[in-house]
Amino acid sequence: MPQPPNIILILADNLGWGELGCYGGGVLRGAPTPRIDRLASEGLRLTNFNLESDCVPTRSALMTGRHPMRTGALQSVPAGLPQGIIPWEVTLAQLISARGYATAIHGKWHLGDREGRLPTDRGFDEWYGIPRTTNESMFTSSPGFDPSIAPMPYVMEGRKGEPARNVAVYDLEMRRKIDSDLVARANEFVGRQAKSGRPFFAYVPITQLHYPTLPHRDFAGKTGAGDFADSLAEMDHRVGEMLDAIDALGIRETTAFIFASDNGPEFRRPWRGTAGPWVGTYHTAMEGGLRAPFIIRWPGKIAAGRVSNEIVHVVDLYATLVRIAGAEVPNDRPIDAVDQLDFFLGRAERSAREGFVFYIKNEMRAVKWRDWKMHFVWEPEPNAGPVKLESPYLFNLIQDPKEETDVLTQYTWVRRPMRKMMLDFEESLRAHPPIPPGAPDGYVPKRSSA
C-alpha cells in the first residue's frame, strides 16, 4: 500500500495579495521573494483564493470546514474570556490524526486560549507558538501596562495529553525572533517523522506580516526599504528553509506543500500592506480583503506552472486535506467546505465552487458568484462606515476589479443565483442554529424543531 502523503501548510498572517513577486509585488515592495516565487512556478497558484474577514474566523473556517457564522468564532476577544471554537467542533487535525498522521502546529493558534481549547486538545500532538495574536507583543512596552489587569502574553509549548506551559514572554524582541523559532521547530518535527516513516501534517501559521511588522535582527536593514520590506524578505527566507529541509530529507515527491495567507493586508499605519490591483484590506468585504495568495506544490500530482482564477475558499482546505489524508468529513453537521482535490490535480478544469456568502461578525456583507460581487453593506476602508445600502451594489470583477461602477440596473438577472445562495445558507442556519459567540465548553448545538 502506498505511503500516505505528507502535508505541510504554511499560513502567513495578513499577507496581502500584492506583496509577493509572483503576485506582482516583490521588488515593487522593496523585497524580492525568490523562494516563494519559485515555489509558485513548481505548482498551482490561485489568484481567486478567498478568506474570512480577519484572523479568528479564517482559522475557524480552516479548522472546522464551516463558515464562522456557524461556529461562533466571529472575532478575537480579550484574553481569558471564552473564545475560539467549542470542543464539539471536529478539527482538521483531529480527522488527520485519526488516520495515523503525526500532527504538529508551530505558530499562532487563535482558536482558544485555555485548557480544553488549545491545539494539543484539538488533534495536534505538539505545539509551540502563541495562543492569540501578535500585537500582544506590544503590551509590555506600552505605558501603564499591568499584568494583573491584562494577562502577560506568552509563547507556549504543549504536547498531547499534557498541560501546555508558558516558555517565554511574548515581547517585542521575541516578536522579532519567533518565526525563526517556529520554522526551526517545524523542521525538527518534519525530520523526526521523515526518519520514522510516519506521515505527518505540519501546520505552520507564522506571524509575519502581522503588526507590529518587525523583522528578525538578522534581517533588520537588509533591504534598505524599512521594517516591512525586511519582514517580507525574512518570510521568504523562512519558507525557503522549510523547502530546503524537505529536499534534504528526500521527501519532496511525497509532500503536498501549501503556502497561503489568512487575510488580506494590514490597514494600520505604519504597517500598511497592499492587495495589488484590488481595493481594500482585511476587515472589509472588498476584494482586497477577500483575496490572498495561495500556492500548492505536489510533484507528480499537481502540474507545475499552473495559474487559475477559479474561486476557492479557505473553508475548502478542510475537505481537500481530509481527502488527501484518506479521511472523511463529519456527516452530523453542516459542512461548508467543498473538496477541491480534483481541481487541484487538474482532473477538473473548474473549481467545485461557484461562489460564497461573506459575513463580518453576524452581518452578511456581500456575496460572490462567478465573476460577480454584490455588496449589501459598503465599507471600502475599515472603520469608514459601514453603510447599509438601500439597494445593493453589483460589480463585475473582471471588467471592474476595483469595484467602482455599480451595474445592478444593467445586470439585474445576476441577483437570482446570488439570492439563491443566500437563501440556501440562511435556511441552513435556521435548520442548524449557529453556535453563539462565547459558548461554554460543554455546549452542544441542537437542530431547529421548525
Catalytic positions, written as ranges: 55, 110
Q: How far apart are CA 108 and CA 36, in angstroms?
A: 21
| Number of neighbours of residue 41 by Cβ within 10 angstroms | 15
Q: CA-CA distance, 20 to 7, in Å (whole number)?
A: 23
DSSP code of residue 229: H
Contacts of 281 (CB under 8 A, 6+ apart): 16, 264, 265, 266, 267, 272, 273, 275, 288, 289, 381, 382
* CA distance linking residue 232 with residue 16, whole number of Å: 11
Beta-bridge mates of residue 336: none
CA–CA dist 154, 315 (Å, integer): 29
Which residues lie closer than 8 Å to 42 by C-beta, 6 or more apart? 297, 299, 304, 305
Set of cell numbers at residue 208: 509575519
Contact at 8 Å (CB) between 64 and 98? no
Q: What Cα–Cα distance (Å) separates residue 188 from each residue in 64, 104, 106?
A: 27, 11, 11
Element holding 305 (H helix, E strand): none
CA-angle at 231, arms to 228 and 234, nearest 5°: 155
Whole-number Å distance between alpha carbons of 106 and 188: 11
CA atoms of 415 and 434, how far apart (whole Å): 26
- Kindly report the CA angle at 175 between 59 and 14, in degrees rounded to 5? 35
Burial annotation 174-206 (CB, 10 A radius, 16+ → b, else e): bbbbbbbbbbebbbebbeebbeeeebbbbbbbb
Cα–Cα distance for residue pair 365/367, rounded to 1 Å: 7
Q: Is residue 34 within a helix (H) or strand (E), and if so which, with residue range?
A: helix 34-41
